[in-house]
Amino acid sequence: MYWTASLNPVVKDLFHYPIFIVLLCSFLPQVRPKVSISPRKSQPLQHHNLLTCSVTGFYPGKIKVRWFWNGKEETYGLMSSELIQKGNWTCQILVMLEIILQQRDVYTCQVKLASLLSPIIVEWSERHPLVMPSPLLPPITASGNASVCPVSPFLLS
């Protein structure tokens, strides 16, 4: 016996329409992420280093992480982990950028997620990291176990 056997016949018919599934998925819990930047090691100016933008505790799994150096997007020297699913339905990802730090350089990690009203922006410089506040949806928590990191039907391009 299928789980839909106990449903009203009208409701059961809704599961045959893809738009219903899309609308149903749009009500899945959305959890705002925590974003931080950390250097691999403390290095003096003009030495190679690796900055890691860590994005944890988000749901759904479709995310876009971009690096900027002094306001210009960086597309070279990037490395990324796979999307990692945690036991509480949230996801995490690490995006690394190889750098040679110069005085007054500012590195920015920008995170876009379907559940965010605007991107989260975190800046890092030789002196200290700066966090730029972004308006977010109210926090919603999810619980349970999942084998994959689900993706919202309303994806960022």
Q: What confidence score (pLDDT) does residue 53 get?
A: 97
Write down the architecture of domain 34-132 according to CATH.
Answer: Sandwich (2.60)
Q: Give the β-pairing of 72-74 and 63-69.
A: antiparallel
The domain spans of the chain are 34-132
Q: What confidence score (pLDDT) does residue 146 get?
A: 32
| C-alpha pair distances (Å), 68 with each of 3, 45, 64, 115, 136 | 49, 18, 13, 22, 21
Q: What confidence score (pLDDT) does residue 140 get?
A: 30
Mean pLDDT of successive 10-residue stretches along the chain, which has 157 residues? 55 58 57 88 75 91 93 95 88 94 92 88 77 38 36 41
In sequence order, the 6+-apart residues with CB closer than 8 A to the CB of 108 are 67, 68, 69, 71, 121, 122, 123, 124
Structure tokens at 87: 């036991």
Q: What confidence score (pLDDT) does residue 135 get?
A: 39
CB 58 within 8 A of CB 33: yes
Nearest to 45 by CA among 127, 123, 129: 127
Q: What confidence score (pLDDT) does residue 89 get?
A: 82
